[in-house]
Amino acid sequence: MEGEKSRELWEKALTLFPGGVNSPVRAAVKPYPFYVKSGEGPYLYTVDGERLVDYVMAYGPLMLGHKHPKVLEAVREQLERGWLYGTPTELEVRLAEKILKYYHPDGMIRFVNSGTEATMTAIRLARGVTGKKYVIKFDGCYHGAHDSVLVGAGSAAAEYGVPMSKGVPEEVAKLTLIARYNDLDSVEKLLRKHKEEVAAIIVEPVIGNAGVILPEKGLLHGLRKLASEHNVILILDEVITGFRLALGGAQEYYGVKADITTLGKIIGGGFPIGAVVADKKVMEHLTPSGKVFNAGTFNAHPVSMAAGLATIEVLETGEPYRVAREAAKKIVEALDEAASRHGFDYTINHVESMFQIFFVKGEVVRPEDARKSDRKLYTRLHEELLRDKVFIAPSQMEAWFTSGAHTIEAVDETVQAIEEAFKRLREQ
């Protein structure tokens, strides 16, 4: 999709930012990214006057869609009172209580500014609590952009061929042990080999960074059991799944319990946020009560607190989940119908309001299966849909997200666009 204003901005951006962008996946929209002027409900409006139905939803945070009136009102009210004080606010107490209720009712929370900071702090905390050094991570899972987790990483790291980022010293990388998702044996082997030296297992309970990949029956409970048996901290990274699969995230949805939960995205209602949640005896190791350091000028930012609180209050009505689930179901049905009628090899992984299609024979059970899919064909699907003003992630290694704002009209437009897109894909 081309537009004069977007092209001009892109040409300038190429001289200002490495690769033209401030986060790599944004450069995957070709021939150049469209520049956004505003967003409302399920729609994005570009500087070139286009209206797009949005299934990227800022890569997950916008569970209520763009510019939800309740969130807007809460943010406006906060702005009227100033926006940063360097000292606590009532809002952080209220948001903490709300989140803890669903994740660790007797626990504690530390607010940070991104999912990256949340997993970085969680891993440091696990090492500090256990006095051990290794972390088990799964190939293709993405936990943000810090050194310990940029080994075998998914999302943009996989898309741009840097699952092991340059600049991460070998000495640091070798402290991250890589297991296979949906393969408990691979975890057990690592635990045995590095007996008494593993601090934590970190996992996306549903992978949202290698497309969407679901845990097979027994995976999460198996990890829980292995972690307990080996005295290892289980970190469930719910930066995507938290408040998306359910109010209590994947833990509620699959009935499993983390030792440390990391959250982000939805809990800030579209403003920067991250959080580490665990039992008191774990959390009290963080500064200032303990000796594991964490701090941040912007931690518990009042605007993020206000937006997060308003978002969760709306989610608690249940209605956004119903709408998002229904929208996802209709779109998955449309993809299924069109891909099968036009004779493609494909599979769709779907849970609640997140899903992805892979052009591949057989199932996608692990990121390695996702990497074998026809990613060029996926990119063409993204391009064809964009031609018809539907925006899906430009990378196979991301997810489609629906929200509480995906109305029947928006979904119907999308279903139509899907049918046309597959027709063109077949003709080409």
Give the nearer residue to ligand PLP in terms of CB position, either 151 or 338: 151
> Known catalytic residue: 45?
no
Read off the tokens for 168: 């991460």
8 A C-beta contact, residue 411 and residue 330 = yes
Q: Smallest distance, Å, CB 119 to ligand PLP? A: 5
> Known catalytic residue: 225?
no
Q: Smallest distance, Å, CB 117 to ligand PLP? A: 7
Alpha helix ranges (H) inside 57-114: 69-80, 90-103
Catalytic residue among 54, 139, 237, 369: 237
Nearest Cα neighbor of 102 from 320, 316, 319, 402 is 316
Read off the tokens for 210: 């290698």
Distance separating alpha carbons of residues 303 and 288, to the nearest angstrom: 24
Distance separating alpha carbons of residues 42 and 53, to the nearest angstrom: 6
Q: Smallest distance, Å, CB 398 to ligand PLP? A: 9
Distance separating alpha carbons of residues 401 and 324, to the nearest angstrom: 8
Give the nearer residue to ligand PLP in terms of CB position, either 50 or 204: 204
CA angle (242, 213, 375) in 5-degree steps:
125
Give the nearer residue to ligand PLP in terms of CB position, either 121 or 209: 209
Read off the tokens for 424: 């063109």
Give the nearer residue to ligand PLP in terms of CB position, either 277 or 421: 277
Read off the tokens for 195: 């007996």
Give the nearer residue to ligand PLP in terms of CB position, either 114 or 402: 114
Q: Smallest distance, Å, CB 15 to ligand PLP? A: 25
In the complex, residue closest to ligand PLP by CB:
115
Distance separating alpha carbons of residues 207 and 365, to the nearest angstrom: 10
Give the nearer residue to ligand PLP in terms of CB position, either 114 or 176: 114
Catalytic residue among 102, 142, 321, 346: 142
Provide the binding-site residues for ligand PLP, judged by CB under 6 A: 59, 114-116, 119, 142-144, 155, 204, 208-209, 237, 239-240, 264
Query: Which are the contacts of 98, defined by CB distance < 8 A and separation ≥ 6?
Result: 309, 312
Distance separating alpha carbons of residues 361 and 97, to the nearest angstrom: 46
Q: Smallest distance, Å, CB 362 to ligand PLP? A: 25
Distance separating alpha carbons of residues 229 and 218, to the nearest angstrom: 16
Q: Smallest distance, Å, CB 252 to ligand PLP? A: 17
8 A C-beta contact, residue 342 and residue 422 = yes
Longest dimension (CA), the chain: 64
Give the nearer residue to ligand PLP in terms of CB position, either 99 or 377: 99
Query: Which are the contacts of 100, defined by CB distance < 8 A and separation ≥ 6?
Result: 107, 108, 109, 277
Q: Smallest distance, Å, CB 76 to ligand PLP? A: 24
Catalytic residue annotation: 142, 237, 265
